[in-house]
Amino acid sequence: MIPKSSKFLLTLVFSICFYFLLQIRATTTNCSSGVMETTQTTHIFILSGQSNMAGRGGVYNGEWNKLVPPECQPNPRILRFSAESEWVEANVPLHADIDVTKVCGIGPGMIFANNYLPVCAAKTVVGLVPCAIGGTAIAEWEKGEKLYNDMLARAVLALEKAGSGGAIKGVLWYQGESDTDTKSHADVYKAKMKKLIFDVRSDLCQPALPFIQVALASGLEEDLIDLVREAQLSINLPNVLCVDAKSLPLKPDNLHLTTDAQVMLGEMLAGAYVTHFNDFI
């Protein structure tokens, strides 16, 4: 028979343990609720621009072939901010519920995350915030326009739902094909791109936020492609990089990157970030 004093002690210990368990549950939630654990570190990246960021790799005749390269495999430490504003485990296509009027396939985001994750601390989570919309021009991303407002709103809410350990670490931007339609659009691309960077940084209160843009691999008018590329490659601002997609293989439409090209681009983006923004990791 257990003495009464021992029973009392066991009851007391159990009650204390149960109390602390409740406190832990009150201050942390898991990803199934759409809110991350407040104790974990989350590196958030905004994926924005148009179709080659949203991803058309593996999309042919209006259907995605569902071939997923090993570089795109899911990982419990890679999450995606869904259209329902919840953090969920990331799977390709990342933009399927964002760029909803088009068929999405493989883009660079998942490859970037899988290549970035190994340089992070063991408990770090990578949070991807898809915002890209196919066929959009730079003017549609100006501050005050719907696409800009939606991107900022998603970024702010993603940060809030990441908890106290969350931080926006960068913007990955691939856009410009739509601005190779007329010379007047191509001529103002550089000024509009610089203002976009300034506005995003200002509205997120992060004046040094890393920003990596992709120099075009394709477009509508050949001479205007070169004009927009020149604008992209010549932007000289602190913590702004440009990776060049020109040599990457295109699908038969001569506009969208193949799946293999997206894998290479994701690796290029991760390499550029890790090399140049080590202080942000």
Q: Retrieve residue 49's tokens.
A: 């621009």
**In this model, does residue 31 exceed pLDDT 70?**
no
- Quick check: helix, strand or coil at residue 84? coil
Model pLDDT for residues 214-232, shown as the tens digit of each residue: 999 999 999 999 999 999 9
Domain coverage including residue 158: 36-280
Average pLDDT, the chain: 90
The total number of residues written for the chain in this structure: 281
> In the chain, pLDDT over 90 holds for what percent of residues?
86
CA pair distance 266, 250, nearest whole angstrom:
15
The CATH number of residue 164's host domain is 3.40.50.1110
Model pLDDT for residues 51-89, shown as the tens digit of each residue: 999 999 999 999 999 999 999 999 999 999 999 999 999
- Let me know: does 40 contact 123? Beta carbons within 8 Å: yes
Model pLDDT for residues 148-194, shown as the tens digit of each residue: 999 999 999 999 999 999 999 999 999 999 999 999 999 999 999 99
User: Is 72 part of a structural domain of the chain?
Assistant: yes
Q: Is 33 a catalytic residue?
A: no
Dihedral sign of CA atoms 63, 69, 72, 74 in order: positive
Q: If you ran DSSP here, which 8-state letter would residue 82 be given? A: -
User: Is 6 part of a structural domain of the chain?
Assistant: no
User: Is 69 part of a structural domain of the chain?
Assistant: yes
**In this model, does residue 90 exceed pLDDT 50?**
yes
**In the prediction, which pLDDT does 3 show?**
52
Q: If you ran DSSP here, which 8-state letter would residue 258 be given? A: -
> In the chain, pLDDT over 70 holds for what percent of residues?
86
CA 205 to chain centre: 18
Neighbouring C-beta atoms of residue 36, cutoff 10 Å: 24
Domain count, the chain: 1
**In this model, does residue 265 exceed pLDDT 80?**
yes
- Burial label for 45, CB within 10 Å (0-12, 13-18, 19+), is buried
**In the prediction, which pLDDT does 12 show?**
42
Long-range contacts of 17-23 (CB under 8 A, 24+ apart): none
User: Is 3 part of a structural domain of the chain?
Assistant: no
User: Is 9 part of a structural domain of the chain?
Assistant: no
**In the prediction, which pLDDT does 40 show?**
85
Name 67's Cβ contacts closer than 8 Å, sequence gap at least 6: 58, 259
User: Is 24 part of a structural domain of the chain?
Assistant: no
Dihedral sign of CA atoms 105, 243, 166, 41 in order: positive
Dihedral sign of CA atoms 115, 68, 147, 43 in order: negative
Q: Is 51 a catalytic residue?
A: yes
Q: Is 43 a catalytic residue?
A: no
Provide mean pLDDT across the span 28-42. Answer: 60
Residue 38: pLDDT band (50, 70, 90) is: low
Q: Considering 43, 95, 185, 256, which one is annotated as catalytic?
A: 256
Q: Which has more pLDDT, 21 or 271?
A: 271
User: Is 207 part of a structural domain of the chain?
Assistant: yes
Q: Considering 6, 15, 97, 253, which one is annotated as catalytic?
A: 253
**In this model, does residue 134 exceed pLDDT 50?**
yes
Q: Considering 48, 51, 82, 178, which one is annotated as catalytic?
A: 51
User: Is 186 part of a structural domain of the chain?
Assistant: yes
**In the prediction, which pLDDT does 17 show?**
40
